[in-house]
Amino acid sequence: MDFQHLKDKIDSSPAFVIDTDAVKKNLATLESIRQQSGCKILYSIKALPLSCVLQPIQAFVDGFSVSSLFEAQLATEILKDQGSLHLTTPGLRPDEWSTLSTLLSHISFNSLTQYQHFLALNSTLTNIGLRVNPKLSFVNDLRYDPCRPHSKLGVDIDILWQANILKDLKGLHIHNVFSATDYTPVIKTIEKLRHYFGKQLAHLDWLNLGGGYLFNEIKHHADFINLITALKQDYDLNIFIEPGKALVDSAGYLLTTVLDCFISDGKTVAILDTSVNHHPEVFEYQKKLELHEHQCTAKHSIILAGSSCLSGDIFGEYQFTQPLCVGDKLVFKNVGAYSLIKANRFNGYNLPSIYSYQNSQLKKEKQDHYADYRQQWYLN
């Protein structure tokens, strides 16, 4: 990515930039895994559902995974029946079921009660599975851990074993990691699944291993490929994986401009024209974003703060080779996933403009205006 090119060419700030070439490059690793193992790839659109991302991705994946009616409707528009559409969510709504069930190719019900309730409703959907909670935690932060105590995500593996209903299902769905950089969790999870269900797994048609793995940050994939190959050979299963963040995070950038600089209690504070409300995980999870201009040994330490009136609207303290000035542009990196999709207009500050970057060419895809803000809040 040519960052100076971004700064020179982008005419509105803040701006979210998605490098579609980088997305395709990330897909190359997954394509290699698919070719060697025979697994099927579903893009989890909750990470970033921009049409300029979904359209080029669609040609390289076997379908999309979704968690709601709106996501399913958007995915259907993009797929045009050219791929499968999988859903799992704890929040199924009875008033949406008749529409939703016509869009899906696969569903993994989140609980036995959900399974029993919606199965009793009229539906032509037959490719039915359950999400299973394998009760194996690999995430230190409970806020990210699908297997935390009293988890809302999936059927407890012990309860599922006691229910003895695998013969009535088409598949199982597993997702118990977040941003994993090795395959130990999935290997241990499949070992436990085999221990519990053994040959009963052969009653199934498919097994969805979920997402949460940063495939491009994992150097060696042989163990994962062998795991998938063994599952296919032993139980004649179709194996799905659901990358989301792995495809788009490193392809996303947030350009911002310095609005003000001043001293506060002996430290320099720079106010940016963006906000943690444009990347809520900074505030929610105290995540420190990677900044292109940061130099860890540089002598100028500056606190980067957002433009809202929230006192905790702080990106953190970064090091610079030169003092920042009003009008300087900065670029946060690796913000493709769970940023724009969660962004909001707190204090009435506009959402970032959206640009795509392909073949070294920038294209402005969208810029919101007052009319968009007004439409959201003016009720008459």
Query: Residue 366 belongs to what H/E stretch?
Result: strand 361-366
255 and 239, same domain (yes or no): no
The predicted-structure confidence for 281-318, as pLDDT tens digits, reads as follows 999 989 999 999 999 999 999 999 999 999 999 999 99
Let me know if residue 27 belongs to a domain.
no
238 and 253, same domain (yes or no): no
Let me know if residue 25 belongs to a domain.
no
Strand-strand pairing, 238-241 and 40-44 = parallel
Measured distance CA(81)–CA(71) in Å, rounded: 15
Mark which of 243, 275, 299 sits at the end of a domain.
243
Q: What is the pLDDT of residue 380?
A: 78
Measured distance CA(196)–CA(105) in Å, rounded: 27
Mark which of 200, 222, 243 sits at the end of a domain.
243
Residue 333, domain CATH: 2.40.37.10
158 and 280, same domain (yes or no): no
CA geometry: angle 189, 101, 243, nearest 5 deg: 35
Global confidence as pTM: 0.95
**What dihedral angle (degrees, nearest 10) is formed by the CA atoms of 87, 89, 94, 99?**
-20
Segments of the chain scoring below 70 in pLDDT: none
Q: What is the pLDDT of residue 316?
A: 97
176 and 221, same domain (yes or no): yes
Q: What is the pLDDT of residue 19?
A: 96
Look-up: residue for tokens 């006691």?
162
Let me know if residue 28 belongs to a domain.
no
Biggest alpha carbon–alpha carbon distance for the chain: 67
203 and 82, same domain (yes or no): yes
271 and 202, same domain (yes or no): no
Q: What is the pLDDT of residue 123?
A: 75
Mark which of 228, 243, 258 sits at the end of a domain.
243
Let me know if residue 22 belongs to a domain.
no
C-alpha separations of 142 from 41, 110, 243, 282 in Å = 27, 19, 21, 17
170 and 254, same domain (yes or no): no
235 and 253, same domain (yes or no): no
Structurally, the chain folds into a number of domains equal to 2
Residue 225, domain CATH: 3.20.20.10
User: For residue 344, what are the domain limits?
Assistant: 3-17+249-377
Let me know if residue 318 belongs to a domain.
yes
208 and 267, same domain (yes or no): no
